[in-house]
Structure 1
Amino acid sequence: MRKIILSINITNDDFIAGPDGSLDWHLPYWNDEMCEALGKLLHTCDTLLLGRNTYNAFAGYWIIKRNDLSIAKADLALAEMMNRYTKIVVSKTLAQTPWTNSLLLQQNILRQLKKLKEKPGKNIIVLGSCQLAAYLIQHNLIDEYYLWLHPITIKHGKALPQLIQSLAGSKIIQSEEFTCGVVKRGYVKQPIGV
C-alpha cells in the first residue's frame, strides 16, 4: 500500500505560516542541501496531494521554473518532478486545474483518498497545505511526517496543533541538519502496543 507523506516547514514556535499565510520566513534558509534532501524525498513519490492555496501557488511558480535555465541545477530537477508528477488537488471551490497532470478531488474525499492509497505506484506527498494536512491527520491518513524545523521564531501565524499532537508516541526515523540551521526530522507512527 502506498504511503501518504506530509512534508511541512515549521518555526521554533510551531507555526507553519505567517498570519497572512505567508512563507517568506523560510525562504532565506533554502539552500542546495535542502533542495537535494527534498529531491530525495520526492523520488520516493509519484503523486503530489495539495490543497487549493498550495496548488495555486505551486502551479504559478513551477510551471514557469520548468523552462527557466537561470535556476540552479538542483532546483531544475525539482521543477521537472513537480511538473511531471500527478497532482491531486483537494478543493470544493476550485473550478479549473491548469497545471499538467492535475486532477480535482471535490466529493467523497475520504473514500477517494483511501482508494488512492490502495492503487499501485510510489508514495503520495503532501507539501504544506495546512487545511488538507489537518483533515488527513484527523482521519489518520498520514503514514510519515517530515518536519523542516527552521531556527526562527515568528510569534504570530498559522499553527497546526493537530500536527504536534499527532506526533506524540511517534518514532523518529530520520534527522538531518543543514548548514543553514534547518533540521529535517522524519517521524512514523508507532503501532499501538509498541
Structure 2
Amino acid sequence: MNKIKVLNRISIDGYFASTNEAAFGMDWFIHDPEVDQAAHAIGGKMNILILGGTTFRGFERYWLPVLHKPDAPSHLKEIAQELTDMTKIVFSKTINETEWDNTEIYYDNLIEVVRQLKRDASSDILVLGSGSIVQQLAEKELIDEYIFIVSPVVAGKGKPLFEHVKQFALTPLEARTFESGNVVLHYVVNK
C-alpha cells in the first residue's frame, strides 16, 4: 500500500502559514536551497501531489512562471518541472479550471479519493501545505510520514497545522540542521 507523506514548512510554534495572504502566508520562512534539496531527498520520488485550493493557487502563481524564467536558479527550475510533471490532485470548491498540466480537481470526497490513491496509485503520495487537508487526513489516520522544515522563527500567530486533531505519536527517522537555522525533521506515524 502506498504511503501518504506530508511535507510542510512550519514555525517553531507550529504555524504552517502566516495571515499575510499577499505573501501566500510564507513571509516568515527562511528559504535555503540546501534545505529544499534535503527535504526533497527525504521525501523520495513521488508522482502524485495532493493540494488544497489555496495552496494550489499559490503554487500555480509561483511555480508556473519559474519554468519560463531564463534567469531562475536551476534548482528552482528543477522543482518547477517536477511539480508540473506530477499528477496534482486538488481539492477545492472554488477552482473550476487551470492551465497547469496534469491537474485533477475534486470538489469533495477527500477521504474516499485518498484511500483509493493509497491502494491503487503508482507511487507514494505527497501532501504540501494544505492545512485543512492535513488535519482531515490526520483525523482519519491516513498519514504515514511527516517531513517538517522548521524555520527558527516564533510566528506568534498564523494558521496552525494541527488545530483540530486528536493526539498521536511519531517516531523520528531523521533530523538535520542547516547553517540557515532551519531544521528538517522526518517522522513516521506510530500506528
Is this a same-fold pair by TM over 0.5?
Answer: yes
Farther off after superposition, 12-21 or 61-70:
12-21
Q: 1:41 to 1:78 in 2, by over 3 A?
A: farther
Secondary structure, aligned partner of 1:45: coil
Secondary structure, aligned partner of 2:2: coil
Matched residue, 2:182: 182
Q: Shift of the alpha carbon at 1:12?
A: 1.4
Kept after mapping to 1: 8 A contact 2:139/2:165: no
Q: Shift of the alpha carbon at 1:44?
A: 2.1
Kept after mapping to 2: 8 A contact 1:51/1:89: yes
Kept after mapping to 2: 8 A contact 1:47/1:86: yes
| Alpha-carbon distance between aligned partners in 2 of 1:38 and 1:170, rounded to the nearest angstrom | 18
Kept after mapping to 1: 8 A contact 2:138/2:165: no
Q: Shift of the alpha carbon at 1:140?
A: 1.1
Q: Shift of the alpha carbon at 1:164?
A: 8.2
Instruction: Show structure 1 runs of 4+ deviating over 4 A.
Output: 162-166
Q: Shift of the alpha carbon at 1:90?
A: 0.9
Q: Which runs of 5+ in 2 are unaligned?
A: none
Quick one: which amino acid aligns to residue 32 of structure 2?
N
Matched residue, 1:170: 170
* Structure 2 residue 93 is the aligned partner of structure 1 residue 92: yes
Kept after mapping to 2: 8 A contact 1:97/1:103: no
Matched residue, 1:134: 135
| Alpha-carbon distance between aligned partners in 2 of 1:148 and 1:30, rounded to the nearest angstrom | 10
Percent of pairs with identical residues:
27
Kept after mapping to 1: 8 A contact 2:10/2:149: yes
| Alpha-carbon distance between aligned partners in 1 of 2:51 and 2:155, rounded to the nearest angstrom | 25
| Alpha-carbon distance between aligned partners in 1 of 2:81 and 2:43, rounded to the nearest angstrom | 11
| Alpha-carbon distance between aligned partners in 1 of 2:177 and 2:165, rounded to the nearest angstrom | 20
Q: Shift of the alpha carbon at 1:81?
A: 0.3
Q: Shift of the alpha carbon at 1:41?
A: 4.1
| Alpha-carbon distance between aligned partners in 1 of 2:63 and 2:36, rounded to the nearest angstrom | 14
| Alpha-carbon distance between aligned partners in 2 of 1:32 and 1:160, rounded to the nearest angstrom | 23
* Structure 2 residue 63 is the aligned partner of structure 1 residue 53: no
* Structure 2 residue 15 is the aligned partner of structure 1 residue 24: no
| Alpha-carbon distance between aligned partners in 1 of 2:43 and 2:58, rounded to the nearest angstrom | 18
| Alpha-carbon distance between aligned partners in 2 of 1:154 and 1:89, rounded to the nearest angstrom | 27
Kept after mapping to 2: 8 A contact 1:138/1:162: no
Q: 1:165 to 1:7 in 2, by over 3 A?
A: farther
| Alpha-carbon distance between aligned partners in 2 of 1:151 and 1:39, rounded to the nearest angstrom | 20
Quick one: which amino acid aligns to residue 74 of structure 2?
K
